Structure 1
Amino acid sequence: MLTAAVLLAVVASAAVLLLPRIADARWWRATVTPLASIIGSGFLVLGPVLDASYGIWATAVMFGLCLGAYLFGAAIRDNIATIDRLGPERNLWQLRLDTAASWSLAFAYTISVAYYLNLLGSFSVSLTPLDDPVHARLVTTAVYAFVLAVGWFRGFGALERLEQITVSAKLAIIAGLLTGLVLFLLDRLPESGLDLSPPDVTGWSGVTLAFGLIVTVQGFETTRYLGDEYDARMRIRSMRMAQWIATAIYVIYVALLSLAFAPGEVALSETAIIDMMKVVAPILPILLVGAALAAQFSAAVADTGGSGGLIEELTRGRIGVRQSYAVLTAIGLTMTWGLNVFEIIAYASRAFALYYALQSAIAAHAAWQEPAQRWRAFAFAALAVLGLLVLLFGEAVEA
C-alpha cells in the first residue's frame, strides 16, 4: 500500500513537471539550474544529520540554514542588479572584490566536486555487499578519472544535458519520499507518537556545526553567472523562486524525518537516509540511490566545468581548462583519500562562506555609494561578517 502510494506520487509529480507549459516555460528553465544545485547539494545528507544532532530543534535549524542562504542570496541578487545598471562603470573596489570572489568560487567548486563525488561513491555501494569506505573511495577515484578524461578530450557539453533530465526525476522522487514519510508517520502515530527528542548538540557547538553545513543549501549563486542566457530581472526572480521552493522542500522533509525517527534510531553516516527509508518503504532506497547517482554526477560535472571556466577567464587563458581540471582532480583525490565525507562538507561550507562574504562586501560597498541606501550597506556588511564567522568556525559532523 505504502509502496504503491510512493510510486503514484513519483509518477504524478513527474507527469506534472514534464507538462510542456511547465517544462518549456522560460521562468522554470531559469529556476531549474539553481534549484537543481541547491537540492543536489545536501538533500540526502542533511535530514539524518540534523535529526541526530538537533532532535526536536532540527526543523528550526533547517529553516535557519535556508534563511541564511536566502540572505546571502539577497546580496548576490543586489550585485546582479548593480552590474546590470552600471556594467563596467562599477567602482574599482567592487571590481577587485568581484575578482577575489571569482577566485574563491573557483576554489569552492574544487571542494564541492570532491563532496559530490564522494557522496556518489558512498551511495553507489550503499545497497551492495561492498558497502565500506575503501570501495566507496575506489568508485569516487574511478569517476574522477572519467570526468577528467571527458573534460580533457571531449568537453562537458553532452554531459551537462544530464542536468535537464535529472532535475524533474529528482523532484519527483522527493515527492515520493515526502509522501512515504507522511504515511509512515501517520501509521506510527497511534503506537509511537511523535518523536520529540532533545538536541544532542547545543550552545556554541550547535552553532559551529550549523556553520559547517552551509554548503548543503548552496547552489543559488549559479544564477549570477547565467547572464548570457537570461536578463537580470529573470535571474533575480528565478533565484528567489529556487530558494523558496528549496526551503519548502527542506523544511517539510526535515520536520517529517525528525518527528518520525528518534536520534540514534539509525546509525549516522552520509548514507543514513537509505537505512531510514528501508523502514519507510522498500522502493525508496532504490529510487534514492538512482537519484543520488544522477544528481551528484551532474552537479560534479557542472562545478568542474564552472571551476575550469572561471580559472581560464581569471588567468586570461594562461591556465587552460584542461590544466584546471587536472588540478581539481589532484586536489579532489587528495581529499577523497585523506578526509571523510563530513569533513569535506565542512571544508566546502567554509570555502563557499568566503565567497558569500565577498559578495556581501561588494553589495555593502555598492549600497554605501547611495546615501539613501546606507542602511542596506550595514545589513550587507553584517552578512559579510557572518560569512567570515562561518569560514573561521564551521565544524564537521562527528559520525
Structure 2
Amino acid sequence: MLIVILACVAALAVTALLSIGPLARSTGWKATVTPLASIIGSGFLICGPLLAREFGAAALPAMAALLALAYAVGVVIRFNIVHVEDHAATLTLNDPFAWAMRVGQFLLAIAYSVSVAYYLKLLAEFVLKSVPFPVSHHAIVANVLVSLIIVALTLLTYSGELKRIEHAAHATVAVKLGIIAGLLTGLAVWWASHAAASLDLPPAKVSLTSIPLLLGLLITVQGFETSRYLGESYDQATRVRTMRYAQLLSSAIYLACLGLLTPFLQQATHAEGVAGILDIMALVAPIMGVFVLVGAVFSQLSAAIADSIGSGGLIIEVSRRKLGVRTAFLVANALTISVVWLTDPFEVIALSSRAFALFYAVQAGLAVWVSRRTRAGSALLQSGFALVGLICIVAALVGAPAGG
C-alpha cells in the first residue's frame, strides 16, 4: 500500500508542477516539450524486457550505449540547426545541397509514417494485454484497432479539428511525465524495502547478434530531431539548448527506469511480448499495472498524433506545396496502414529504427558537406560526423527485429 500511495503522490506532484507551475509557462520548457514528447514514448517501458532478454545483467550498459549513439546524432542535428539552416537561406532551388536537404525531408516523412505504426501498434499491445482476449485473434484485433485510429486521425484533417487534437497531445506530456515519476517512485520504494534481499540476476551476455538488435531499438530513443523543424516558433539558440535538455532528461529517465528494474531482470527475460513490463510491474504492486497502461496509452497516442502531423507537413514541403493538407495526410496514413498490416510489433520497431537511421545518415552527410563548404567545423568534427553517419547506415542495413 505504501508503494501505491507514494507513487500516486509523485505522479500528482510532477503533473501539477508541469501543468500549472511557472515552469509550464516558460519558453524554454515549451520548446523542450516537443522533442521530449517524441523521445519519451513507451520506449522506456519496452526496453527493459527486451534488453534483459538479449543482454542479461548487461542491459543497463547496453541502454547507455544506445543513448550515447542517440546523443551523438543529436550533436549532428544541433550543428545542422545553426549551420545548415543558415547555409540553406543562400541556396538556389536547384543547388545540389538543396536537393540533398529535400531527400532528407522525404526520408523523414516516411520515417514519421512508419513510426506512427510503431506507436499505435505498441498502444494496441498494451491495451489488449490488459483485457482477456483469445491469443489466436490478438494480431488481427490489434491491427483493426490501429487502423481505426489512423482512419480517425485522417478524418480529423477533413473536419478541421486536427489542431485541437495537436494541442491536446502536447498537454498530455505533463500527465505522461507524472506517470513516469510514479512508476520510478514505486520501483525505488520496492527496492528500498527489499534492500536486504540478494539479487538473482541473469548472466551478462553480448554476442554478434546483440548489436543488430540494439541498433534496431534506435526508434525507442528517437524524437529529438523535431527541434530542427521548430524554426517558426523558436530561434536557433533556444532550439539547440532545449533539444540538449530533452535528450539529457530523457536519458536520465531511461537509465533510471532500467536501473530500478535491475531486481526484476531475471523475470524480464521471460516476459512475453512488447507489453511484458505489465507482468513485471504486477510483482511490485498489482495496481502499478494501471500506471503502466495509462502511461503507455498517453505516450503512444500523443506521439502518434505528433508524428502523423509531422509526416503530413513534410510531404507538403517535399511536394513544394503541390499537395494539400488532406492529400498529404491520406498519402502518409495509407503508408502507415500498410506498415501496420505487413509487420508484427517487433518488426515495426526495427523498421522504424531503420527509417530514422537513414534520415540521420543523410543529416550527418549534410553536416560534413556544410562544414566543408563553410569551414564551420574542424577536420576532427567532420570525422566525427562521418562516423555517426556510418553507424547510422549500418543501423539501417542490419537493425534486427527485437523478437528474434
User: Aligned partners of 2:372 and 2:199: how far apart in 1?
Assistant: 49
User: Which residue of 153, 157, 161 corresponds with 1:151?
Assistant: 157
Task: Please state if 1:142 is matched with 2:158.
Answer: no
Conserved in 2, the CA contact under 8 Å of 1:197 and 1:263?
A: no
User: Which residue of 227, 239, 244 corresponds with 2:243?
Assistant: 239
Q: CA deviation at 1:121?
A: 1.4
Conserved in 1, the CA contact under 8 Å of 2:44 and 2:254?
A: yes
Task: Please state if 1:5 is matched with 2:6.
Answer: yes
Query: Percent of aligned positions with the same letter in both sequences?
Result: 36
Task: Please state if 1:325 is matched with 2:332.
Answer: no
Deviations 1:287-314 (A, max 9, x none): 2212222221121111111111111111
Q: Which runs of 4+ in 1 moved over 4 A?
A: 263-266
Give the length in aligned residue pairs.
397
Q: How does 1:32-43 map to 2 (within 5 A)?
A: 32-40=33-41, 42-43=43-44
Question: Which segments of 5 or more consecutive residues in structure 2 lack a partner in the other structure?
Answer: none
Q: CA deviation at 1:371?
A: 7.9
User: Aligned partners of 1:254 and 1:397: how far apart in 2?
Assistant: 17
Task: Please state if 1:177 is matched with 2:183.
Answer: yes
* TM-score, scaled relative to structure 2: 0.93
* TM-score, scaled relative to structure 1: 0.94
Conserved in 2, the CA contact under 8 Å of 1:83 and 1:90?
A: no
User: Aligned partners of 2:268 and 2:255: how far apart in 1?
Assistant: 21
Q: CA deviation at 1:377?
A: 1.0
Deviations 1:289-346 (A, max 9, x none): 1222222112111111111111111112333332232233332222222221110000
User: Aligned partners of 2:355 and 2:115: how far apart in 1?
Assistant: 9
1:278 aligned partner, one-letter code:
A
User: Which residue of 316, 321, 325 corresponds with 1:312?
Assistant: 316
User: Aligned partners of 2:379 and 2:96: how far apart in 1?
Assistant: 17
Give the superposed CA RMSD: 1.9
Question: Which segments of 5 or more consecutive residues in structure 1 lack a partner in the other structure?
Answer: none
Compared with structure 1, are the counterparts of its residues 234 and 160 closer, same or farther at alpha carbon in structure 2 (3 Å cutoff)? same
Conserved in 1, the CA contact under 8 Å of 2:56 and 2:269?
A: no
Conserved in 2, the CA contact under 8 Å of 1:117 and 1:296?
A: yes
Q: CA deviation at 1:35?
A: 0.7
User: Aligned partners of 1:371 and 1:74: how far apart in 2?
Assistant: 14
For structure 1, which segment, 116-125 or 245-254, has the greater mean C-alpha deviation from structure 2 after superposition? 116-125
User: Which residue of 372, 392, 398 corresponds with 1:393?
Assistant: 398
Map of 1:274 onto structure 2: 278
2:127 aligned partner, one-letter code:
S
User: Aligned partners of 1:372 and 1:27: how far apart in 2?
Assistant: 27
1:392 aligned partner, one-letter code:
L
User: Which residue of 366, 371, 384 corresponds with 2:389?
Assistant: 384
For structure 1, which segment, 146-155 or 6-15, has the greater mean C-alpha deviation from structure 2 after superposition? 146-155
Conserved in 2, the CA contact under 8 Å of 1:103 and 1:314?
A: yes
User: Aligned partners of 2:132 and 2:385: how far apart in 1?
Assistant: 50
Map of 1:293 onto structure 2: 297
Q: How does 1:107-146 map to 2 (within 5 A)?
A: 107-130=110-133, 132-146=138-152
